[in-house]
Amino acid sequence: MLKSLPDSKKVDLWIRASGKALLWGMSLVGIFFLYLPIVILVIYSFNESKINAVWRGFTLQWYQSLFEGLTVGSDISNVLIWDALKNSLIVGFISTGVATILGTMIGLAMERFHFRGRTVIEGLLFLPIIIPDITMGIALLVFFSLVFQLLESLTGMRLVLGLPTVIIGHIAFNISYVAVVVRSRIADLDPTLEEAALDLGANEWKSFWRITLPLIYPGILSGALLAFTLSLDDFVITFFTAGVGATTLPVFVYGMIKVSVTPAINAISTIMLFASLIIVVLSFSLQRH
């Protein structure tokens, strides 16, 4: 059968078959590459052995050790894991809340507002997402030290880095993410709906509260969830803007790994992984509605 086919067809069939095989092979490699590390992480978080790579039986003791309170750092400045978690949640909630309100307002303002050079402004909105975290961290660090110096010379107040500076930094990058998500939602919005409300006698304020806001609400919520995960997961910007005592969970984990990789780290990472996963799945399913 194959012999009766012209050569080019034969080559083609061969390419198709090998393409299919390659696709499957690649999927396997991809899954191996991507998932095996994560699976191993999760499995070893239940491993009784203290050393990774040896399986000694199932245990929940590493999770338990987290609940009993784990510390990292030198003898002088011990940081409890609960403090780190508390800091992470404080930063996450406040920065998400503020960034959601501001980002939504920017999204609305830019959609309604037509002016020259709008593309440039739109590009500027995207830029904080794309610039390296480490440069954002340095920029914030330089900025805060300048502000602190100015304040000290003007009023004599001495300020240091801490949770408030972390929150200010997180708001700065979260605004962009929320604004981008909300804008894409507003762009899909039918402008005639709002016009209809205005025609029917609602004022601007009323039509915003009763028509626009309920319609873009899923976009706002998914933007907020995205911002919350980013804020919880951020290491680099937090590291540069946090002073002593403002350790968040990723900074805590980083500090622990630098000492040695213990099963407790596997346990924390597993929990963080699933927490992010749940929030993002929630966010995507909201966006689809």
State the distance between the two ends of the chain, measured CA to CA, in whole angstroms. Answer: 52
Task: Identify which of residues 31 and 60 has a Cβ nearer to other proteins in the complex.
Answer: 31
DSSP state of 208: I
Tokens 């499995």 sit on residue: 43
Show contacts with other proteins in window 189-228 (CB under 8 A). Answer: 204
CB of 64 to other proteins, least distance (A): 20
CA distance 289 to 286: 5
Q: If binding is defined by CB under 8 A, does position 77 make contact with other proteins?
A: no
| Sheet strands (E) in the chain | 71-72, 79-80
How many CB atoms within 10 Å of residue 203? 9
The interface region with other proteins, picked from 40-48, 67-75, 80-88, 89-97 by CB under 8 A, is: 40-48
Size of the residue set binding other proteins (CB under 8 A): 81
Which string of x and - marks every residue 103-142 that binds other proteins (by CB under 8 A)? Answer: --xx-xxx-xx-x-----x-xx-xxx-xxxxxxxxxxxxx
CA distance 147 to 72: 31
Q: If binding is defined by CB under 8 A, does position 12 make contact with other proteins?
A: yes
Closest among 93, 59, 260 to 171, alpha carbons compared:
93
Answer for which of 17, 193, 257, 259 binds other proteins (CB under 8 A) is 257
CA distance 38 to 93: 27
CB of 271 to other proteins, least distance (A): 10
Answer for which of 172, 197, 225, 242 binds other proteins (CB under 8 A) is 172
Answer for which of 149, 188, 244, 259 binds other proteins (CB under 8 A) is 149
Residue 146's SS3 state is: helix
Answer for which of 38, 60, 193, 213 binds other proteins (CB under 8 A) is 38
Structure tokens at 207: 């039509």
Please provide the size of the chain in residues. Answer: 289
Q: If binding is defined by CB under 8 A, does position 160 make contact with other proteins?
A: no
Q: If binding is defined by CB under 8 A, does position 159 make contact with other proteins?
A: no
CB of 276 to other proteins, least distance (A): 5
